[in-house]
Chains A and B, each alone.
Chain A
Amino acid sequence: MGNSITSLNVSELAREKGPKKLAVLAPEDEEFMLAVKKSWELGYIEPVLIGNAEKMEQLAEKIGFDIAGFERIVENDRQAIADLGIGMLFSGQLPVVSKGQIPTSFIYRSIIRAEAKAGSGMTVSVASLWEVPGLDHLVAFTDSGVSIYPDYKTKVEILKNAVFLCRVLGYEKPRIAVLSGQRSFGGTLPSYRDYRQLRKAAAAGEFGECEIIGATSFTDIFMGSRGRLRDDGRIDIRKMPHIILVPRLDTGNIICKLDFFLDVKRCSLLVTTRGPVIIPARSDFSESIVEQVAVGAVVADRMEGGEVK
């Protein structure tokens, strides 16, 4: 296994391991096309462009990007675009896929079908990686994209996916917080019951080398069960775990997108059995997308190498 990845800036690694062949699903937005151009120029990727011919050509021309030499697949139907790209990933034609300007639900559907066809038994889930200043590892919020109200069994699978991703990132024994809206009153929430059960399962070794910590909120994580926030606001950010398992989609998605507001960077991706699919938000800007592409290329390289079991 390679060294552990501590930030979302993996440009050096991506350049060293690249270019990786990457399918872009509908690069039909200037920011996305610009990101593809930069990622190609930086040596991270060699794009396969799938989408509307006119839109792709117009955008490429607008930003001065010569796409004549790349494989292009003309397709207008959103689902067909996703199916084509994911199909190439699962047939081994390329190791990594990126979402472009299409709703993510089409991609989820393609991946769920592809995993079912491959008989992998995998539950598809999204991890949003955060880079937080002062922290020497990334934090994976999951599932921030697919399961709306995951039950216990689904959370087990989501956690397995996240632990696998942590291994890919080089975190040997990830610390995990299973979050819940549980307070001292208001009854016992199902998410709190899941926490207790998951913690037992982790202690029994169900997820391999990892630890579910005794915390269901950020207050627990940073202050334990006692004490009060200091007036100077000082906390030890190093207490942040590697994985944050959120109770439901609303919670995960709303919190992980605080990067629009806070001093953190985000990269959302979905690790299939055949390689990563990066899913930049349709509102992300090219600079951020380029970084996410680099992360995708590096994760793809580590999965291709079969270094992670």
Chain B
Amino acid sequence: MISTFQGIMDAARDGGARKRIAVPSVKRGDLNLLSRAVKGGLAVPVIVGDGRAMEALVKKSPLTSLEHEILDVGESGGALPEAIRLVREGRADILMQGGLDQKAFLGAVLDAKTGLRKGRLASYASVFQLLKSDKLILATDTFVNNFPGAAEKQLILENVIGLAGLLGMGSLKIAALAAIEQVNPSISSTLDAAVLSKMSERKQFGNAVVEGPLDMDCALSTVAASRKGLKSEVTGNVDIYLVPDIETGYLLVQALVFIGRMKTAGVLLGTVRPVILNIPFVSGENRLVEIALASLMCGKGGGNNG
């Protein structure tokens, strides 16, 4: 089981072939990151964009003396579709947001026809390393879906369970969070959580145990839970936090980063190949972890750079 960010880096490095990472319209700030990824033996960047402009940027960065490719698509703004095509056709393993506007980038990536979506739903998972012990926890969906219902949350869970498996997390304990631990039909998150919890009882998520609704105190503390009369193997030992909606997920992750001083990295799930977004509350160092995580998700195969 991988229990630290360093562990993710190590596992990715030991994972065999270096992955080709397609970066449309790279921006200056990402060049250092990509250089580190090359040096660390994680990936080889394939920079897609206006050849001359890209060349000029790379020249001024440490990447210039390291292995990389530049794919010239001219000035026409065709960098993103070309990068997506590379990934879809298996000529690159990972897609990174690069210097593109997030709205345009995600719009293209999630496009049902021309994008990279694998199943019915793409979602985002945030990975955290606990401060006081070597353990990774996941939170989802913290970036993509606004107000998923129970059906969407089932898919969000399936996506994240896949990621957890890759990290070697066994016998998963999942907290379906809500404002209160009781089922209240006026609070839809409690209904969704109860449904998912029942589904897990029926083994619809394999061996993963989904407990919900759980409020945050019950999720975090076995003692708190038992004082509220709640007994569950999930309380006080959560691997995955399923958030009710984006208002909660997006803000919860940031509360953990800015007030809890926790490190976070994240990845898009439910795509044919890993996609790395550019999120400002992920530090530079942890963006490298995101590349490692994406490499890990590619599996042992892939990579034309073995």
> What mask results when residues 242 to 269 of chain A are scored 1 for a CB within 8 Å of chain B, else 0?
0000111111111101101110100000
Is B251 an interface residue, CB under 8 A from the partner? yes
Is B245 an interface residue, CB under 8 A from the partner? yes
B46 to chain A, nearest CB (A): 23
B246 near A186 (CB under 8 angstroms)? yes
A260 near B220 (CB under 8 angstroms)? yes
Measured CB to CB, the nearest residue on chain A to B229 is A282
Is B255 an interface residue, CB under 8 A from the partner? yes
Is B120 an interface residue, CB under 8 A from the partner? no
Taking a contact as CB atoms closer than 8 A, the residue among B101, B180, B255 that contacts A258 in the complex is: B255
Is A233 an interface residue, CB under 8 A from the partner? yes
> What mask results when residues 228 to 264 of chain B are scored 1 for a CB within 8 Å of chain A, else 0?
1000000000000001111111111011111111010
Is A191 an interface residue, CB under 8 A from the partner? yes
> What mask results when residues 167 to 203 of chain A are scored 1 for a CB within 8 Å of chain B, else 0?
0000000000001110111110101000000000000
A238 to chain B, nearest CB (A): 12
A132 near B259 (CB under 8 angstroms)? yes
A222 near B258 (CB under 8 angstroms)? yes
* Cβ–Cβ < 8 Å partners of B106 in chain A: 185
Is B225 an interface residue, CB under 8 A from the partner? yes
Name the residue among A181, A223, A231, A249 with the largest chain B CB count within 10 angstroms.
A181
B262 to chain A, nearest CB (A): 9
* Cβ–Cβ < 8 Å partners of B216 in chain A: 253-255, 257-258, 260-261
B263 near A233 (CB under 8 angstroms)? yes
Query: A291 vs B72: C-alpha distance in the bound complex, in angstroms?
Result: 65
B215 near A181 (CB under 8 angstroms)? no
Is B112 an interface residue, CB under 8 A from the partner? no
A126 to chain B, nearest CB (A): 11
Taking a contact as CB atoms closer than 8 A, the residue among B101, B228, B243 that contacts A254 in the complex is: B243
Query: A248 vs B248: C-alpha distance in the bound complex, in angstroms?
Result: 8
B284 near A281 (CB under 8 angstroms)? no
Taking a contact as CB atoms closer than 8 A, the residue among A31, A240, A255 that contacts B252 in the complex is: A255
Stretch of A9-17, A44-52, A73-81, A213-221 at the chain-chain interface: A213-221
A184 near B101 (CB under 8 angstroms)? yes
Query: A235 vs B228: C-alpha distance in the bound complex, in angstroms?
Result: 36
* Cβ–Cβ < 8 Å partners of B182 in chain A: 103
> What mask results when residues 12 to 55 of chain A are scored 1 for a CB within 8 Å of chain B, else 0?
00000000000000000101000000000000000000000000
Stretch of B57-65, B76-84, B156-164, B275-283 at the chain-chain interface: B275-283
Is A228 an interface residue, CB under 8 A from the partner? yes
Is A63 an interface residue, CB under 8 A from the partner? no
* Cβ–Cβ < 8 Å partners of A186 in chain B: 144, 146, 246
The bracket for how many chain B residues form the interface is 35 or more
A181 near B283 (CB under 8 angstroms)? no
Is A306 an interface residue, CB under 8 A from the partner? no
Is A227 an interface residue, CB under 8 A from the partner? yes
B109 to chain A, nearest CB (A): 10
Query: A189 vs B245: C-alpha distance in the bound complex, in angstroms?
Result: 12
A181 near B245 (CB under 8 angstroms)? yes
A217 near B177 (CB under 8 angstroms)? no
B23 to chain A, nearest CB (A): 17
Taking a contact as CB atoms closer than 8 A, the residue among A185, A221, A250 that contacts B245 in the complex is: A250
A185 near B250 (CB under 8 angstroms)? no
* Cβ–Cβ < 8 Å partners of B282 in chain A: 228-229
Query: A180 vs B258: C-alpha distance in the bound complex, in angstroms?
Result: 16
* Cβ–Cβ < 8 Å partners of B146 in chain A: 181, 186-187, 189
Query: A264 vs B255: C-alpha distance in the bound complex, in angstroms?
Result: 12
Name the residue among B244, B245, B246, B250 with the largest chain A CB count within 10 angstroms.
B250
Is B217 an interface residue, CB under 8 A from the partner? yes
> What mask results when residues 98 to 133 of chain A are scored 1 for a CB within 8 Å of chain B, else 0?
000001000000000000000000000000000010
* Cβ–Cβ < 8 Å partners of B103 in chain A: 184-185
B49 to chain A, nearest CB (A): 21
* Cβ–Cβ < 8 Å partners of B246 in chain A: 181, 183, 186, 189
Measured CB to CB, the nearest residue on chain A to B246 is A181
B102 near A183 (CB under 8 angstroms)? yes
| A250 in contact with B259 given A183-B102, A227-B280, A260-B217 (CB within 8 Å) | no
Is B187 an interface residue, CB under 8 A from the partner? yes
| A148 in contact with B254 given A253-B215, A260-B221 (CB within 8 Å) | no
> What mask results when residues 183 to 195 of chain B are scored 1 for a CB within 8 Å of chain A, else 0?
0001101000000
Query: A283 vs B101: C-alpha distance in the bound complex, in angstroms?
Result: 45
A70 to chain B, nearest CB (A): 25
Measured CB to CB, the nearest residue on chain B to A253 is B179
* Cβ–Cβ < 8 Å partners of A187 in chain B: 146
A235 near B249 (CB under 8 angstroms)? no
Measured CB to CB, the nearest residue on chain A to B142 is A181
Query: A211 vs B50: C-alpha distance in the bound complex, in angstroms?
Result: 45
A185 near B102 (CB under 8 angstroms)? yes
B260 near A261 (CB under 8 angstroms)? yes
A217 near B259 (CB under 8 angstroms)? no
Is B306 an interface residue, CB under 8 A from the partner? no
B101 near A181 (CB under 8 angstroms)? no
Given contacts A218-B258, A253-B216, A257-B215, 12 further A-B contacts (CB under 8 A): A179-B247, A183-B250, A189-B246, A189-B247, A223-B281, A229-B283, A247-B247, A252-B179, A254-B244, A255-B252, A264-B259, A282-B227
8 contacts across the A-B interface (CB closer than 8 A): A103-B182, A181-B247, A218-B254, A223-B280, A229-B283, A230-B283, A252-B179, A283-B223
